[in-house]
Amino acid sequence: MKIKIPIELITLEDSSYHIMVEAIFNKSIRGNLIVDTGASKSVVDYGFAESFAHSIEEVQDQNSSGINALISQAHIGVIEKFSIGKLKIRNYQTVLLDLSHINQLYASYSDKTIAGLLGSDFLVQYNAVIDYGKKQMTFNFDKNTKKPHKG
């Protein structure tokens, strides 16, 4: 079984793009997620998620590079329900970071606010395939188990 969802290409500069998808958290809270194939971990903005994420704990030891190297405080939290198109996810554990610096950057290029980043951990787990020409991302599932199909 395949689940296809639309993607939006956000132009940051000439020939520089980010992929964005819309997600719905806990059935009613909408947020934009950047698909970041270069990020090892998915993250959600702490300020965005603090009202609906639960089991939030501060991360004490943080040895990171990339975006996480600029952030001094990180948390782990669980999002009870979240969906991207018809892909439904329950009890998703993720890193919660202050992404205000990313939203400040986006404000100069777009009217979009960023709720989080989908990293390669999520993309591999859900067997994502990005088709830029069709502007869609596909998740491949085994139709009997409704889990990502490996292959």
For residue range 51-85, what is the model confidence (pLDDT) as tens digits?
A: 999 988 988 755 554 544 555 689 999 999 999 99
Top pLDDT among 64 and 104 is at 104
- Tokens, residue 80: 């009870």
Rounded distance between C-alpha atoms, residue 131 and residue 126, angstroms: 15
Closest C-alpha to 119, from 149, 91, 97, 100: 97
Residue position matching structure tokens 């979009």 = 112
CATH topology of domain 2-148: Cathepsin D, subunit A; domain 1 (2.40.70)
Q: Which two tokens stand for residue 42?
A: 């998915």
Q: Where are the domains of the chain?
A: 2-148
Higher pLDDT, 65 or 41: 41
Q: How confident is the model at residue 16 (pLDDT cuts 50, 70, 90)?
A: confident
Helix (H) or strand (E) holding 5: strand 2-6
Tell how strand 29-35 and strand 147-148 pair up. Answer: unpaired
- In this prediction, residue 1 carries a pLDDT of 81
- pLDDT of amino acid 105: 84
